[in-house]
Amino acid sequence: MQLLINDHPVDFTIEKESTVKEVMNSIHKWASQRSLIFSGAIVDGVLYQPDAAPETPIDNIKNINCYVQSVGDVVIDSIKEGIAYCSRAEQYLKGKESLAQLTDNEFAQLHYGIEWIVSVLQSVLHMLGLEREDVRFKDMTVQQYIDSIKSLQYMIGDNRASSDINQINELFHDVTTLFRVLLCSDALKHLIMQSVDSPDVLFHTLLDLKAMVSQQMDNLEAIAGMYQKGKDNEALEIIHTLVDFLYLYMRTCYQISPVFGINLSDIEFNNQSLEELNIRLQDMLSEIVLIMENNDIVSLSDILEYELKPLIGEVDNYLDILLQKLKS
């Protein structure tokens, strides 16, 4: 039987475990000890939730692929889902003059969607360890902002025909901005740093990142052309893919020291340490989010193509050095 974690083969010693359920219980315990969330496993092509593991003897099994996530990964996925929903809602409402143009079913989905967005926002803040009364957004606390969203939800529920659809569009735009601010926050950075993968998984992730660099370079080159042709949504999708890549890269780098005992300040290329490069990337990511908040397409295209692209190219060199060091 082959055991995998997040699609990567791992050297996990099977001791007393004789059934799939016992193996999954052991993985669950291993994940909990590392503040990871065990979401389930695919056993010979069949998906099982942790609480529904079969008693099948492992002698009859070819492979068990277990999926674990850090709390940081769950936060990032939640934020991405929130942003994606807001984007879809904005696009759907585009061109509508009033909420009265929506069918009853569409209006019900919109009403529920606003409620769902609030729950995602509250969940993300909780997982980040941020108090809603302490975080400010739009000259108010996030708690006050959430209260204003709920008030708007009640208002459109009671006065559907006379409600201002522009307020709804503004809501989705503002929530997207707030999600992006949280995506680049120090709180998320610290949360990511607390989660550590196994050495095998970490090494394979470095290999995956190395394989992804060239595609990110191509994407960055294509973004400017997409904006020039008015393909803003396609360009935004690529930017989200880029952000995913950068967070996977950052999360992996944060784990290099505790797992392999390698100091990032000792990894150098062209008189610049990996630690210094990562600081530049983090600063640039924050700048990109700010530019996106201001909807400055020209500046966004320029910084992605002329400033971020060269840095991503440098990442490739450092990954080579890291992989070589780990293989030696």
Which position has the higher pLDDT, 148 or 97?
A: 148
Residue 65 has pLDDT above 90, yes or no: yes
Could you say which DSSP state residue 189 is in? Answer: H
Residue 259 has pLDDT above 80, yes or no: no
Residues 28 and 11 reside in one and the same domain: yes
Residues 253 and 179 reside in one and the same domain: no
Residue 58: give the domain boundaries.
2-70
**Across 172-184, average pLDDT:** 85
Percentage of the chain modeled with pLDDT above 90: 23
Domain end call among 183, 209, 231: 183
Start-to-end C-alpha separation, the chain:
29
Q: How many independent structural domains does the chain possess?
A: 3
Residue 298 has pLDDT above 90, yes or no: no
In the structure encoding, which two tokens stand for residue 98, read together?
Answer: 């009033």
Give the Cα separation of 29 and 24 in Å (integer).
Answer: 9
Residues 98 and 171 reside in one and the same domain: yes
Residues 134 and 251 reside in one and the same domain: no
In the structure encoding, which two tokens stand for residue 236, read together?
Answer: 């935004």
Domain end call among 183, 218, 247: 183
Predicted confidence at residue 41, as pLDDT, reads 94
- Of 74, 86, 68, 76, nearest in space to 285 by CA: 76
Predicted confidence at residue 139, as pLDDT, reads 84
Give domain status of residue 291, yes or no. Answer: yes
Sign of CA dihedral 17, 20, 21, 26: positive
Angle, in degrees to the nearest 10, between helices 165-183 and 142-158? 150
Q: Report the mean per-residue pLDDT for the chain.
A: 85
176 residue type, one letter: T
Predicted confidence at residue 21, as pLDDT, reads 93
Predicted confidence at residue 7, as pLDDT, reads 82
Residues 61 and 78 reside in one and the same domain: no
In the structure encoding, which two tokens stand for residue 181, read together?
Answer: 């601010």
Residue 158 has pLDDT above 80, yes or no: no
Residue 11 has pLDDT above 80, yes or no: no
Give domain status of residue 114, yes or no. Answer: yes
Query: Is the whole model's pTM more than 0.85, yes or no?
Result: no
Which position has the higher pLDDT, 293 or 175?
A: 175
Collapsing DSSP to helix, strand or coil, 318 comes out as helix
Most confident stretch, 13-17, 153-157, 264-268: 264-268
Collapsing DSSP to helix, strand or coil, 19 comes out as strand
Residues 6+ apart with CB under 8 A from 47: 40, 41
Residues 66 and 109 reside in one and the same domain: no
- Of 269, 262, 282, nearest in space to 199 by CA: 262
Give domain status of residue 274, yes or no. Answer: yes
**Across 56-77, average pLDDT:** 87
Give domain status of residue 191, yes or no. Answer: no
Domain end call among 55, 70, 85: 70
Question: Could you read off the pLDDT of 73-90 as tens digits, one per residue?
Answer: 788 888 888 988 888 888
